[in-house]
Amino acid sequence: MKAVVQDRYGEADVLELRERDRPAVGPDDVLVRVRAAGVDPGVWHLMAGLPYPVRLATGLRTPRNPVRGTDVAGLVEEVGRNVTALRAGDAVFGSCDGAFAEYARARADRLAPKPDGLTFEQAAVLPVSGCTALQALRDTGQFRAGQHVLVIGAAGGVGSYAVQLAKDLGAEVTGVCSTGKTELVRSLGADHVLDYTRQEITDGGARYDLVLDTAGNRPLKRLRRALTTRGTLVIVGGEAGGRWLQGIDRQLRAAALSPFTGQRLRTLIGRPNRNDLEFLGQAAADGRLAPVLDRTFPLAEAAAAVRHVHAGHAAGKTVLTV
């Protein structure tokens, strides 16, 4: 099979399209014939091995798994002996290690049936970003209907889902984005849109019950000023900073400070699971959640897709077709 692999950590030029053997299927695994694979910021971090603590899990000197990609949608090719919920020929979507390939192995509990109304490309950009947005609002943020929610990075992968999910759950939503993306954020249902090139989140004195920060470059002090006295901040990811921490220091400081303030300061790494995938798939099938596709690249142009996402150009999600 063809797969996008890397032998060393580095920028996108380390990615190469090569021939590899198909993954072997374990008793709890599913082999997916990949039709589309989502490209999210996490792909860049695993490719670059940054921040450095990432390498404790992925390999200190070289990547243990050389095939990139996590979001996947395709057709079941083979199932392990313990898998009963899926069978060959089923259309599925979910997460795995090594989605940038013609075939990928996934755990059965990280896959869900693809709704008939979604294309493979739309389904492939739901798992990681969609589950992260849902878990940030529902679980970590402990959202309640009627709250005022601020989504920073509202035109991005996680942010575009968070705006829609928060509105669907009964929030008053303010989205933060750049000038060229304000109309997109309004179309997603945001009640208010802040253009960060012209207005800061603390301008005007508005305060929010829940702030979801997916952009990763604002000081913790400023984020806290945007909260109500009992508000909740959820930090998703972190792109600013050096090679050692890349914003993780802000998350660590939030965790350390939270017990000493009335505000809840939390961080989150989303973890796709079957229940949440089924929820997102149903919401998309019902028209309550729309995957926003920015650009589509063929598998052979995976490096260009990763560069596009890492540069911050994407409005919504980027996808590879196989």
Q: Give the phi and the psi of residue 147 in degrees, each rounded to 5.
A: -75, 160
For residue 196, the domain's CATH number is: 3.40.50.720
Residue 65's pLDDT is: 94
- Please tell me the distance from the alpha carbon of residue 214 to that of residue 193, in angstroms, as a whole number: 15
Residue 119, by phi and psi: left (phi above 0), alpha (psi -120 to 50) or beta?
A: beta
Count other C-beta atoms under 10 Å from residue 171's C-beta.
26
Domain co-membership, 310 together with 217: no
Domain co-membership, 171 together with 193: yes
Domain co-membership, 193 together with 262: yes
Domain co-membership, 59 together with 175: no
- Please tell me the distance from the alpha carbon of residue 267 to that of residue 257, in angstroms, as a whole number: 12
Domain co-membership, 61 together with 147: no
In a domain, 177, yes or no: yes
Domain co-membership, 262 together with 316: no
Q: What is the pLDDT of residues 258-280, one digit of tens each?
A: 888 999 999 998 899 999 999 99
Helix (H/G/I), strand (E/B), else coil: 1: coil
Residue 81's pLDDT is: 97
pTM metric for this prediction: 0.94
The separation between CA 30 and the C-alpha centre of its own chain, rounded to angstroms, equals 22
Residue 313's pLDDT is: 77
DSSP H or E run through 29: strand 29-39
In a domain, 19, yes or no: yes
In a domain, 43, yes or no: yes
- The structural domain count of the chain equals 2
Q: Which residues in the chain land under pLDDT 70?
A: 238-247
Domain co-membership, 115 together with 17: yes
Domain that holds residue 196: 129-268
Domain co-membership, 261 together with 133: yes
Residues 147/138, Cβ–Cβ less than 8 Å: no
In a domain, 221, yes or no: yes
State the sign of the Cα–Cα–Cα–Cα dihedral 139, 140, 141, 142.
positive
Q: Give the phi and the psi of residue 68 in degrees, each rounded to 5.
A: -90, 170
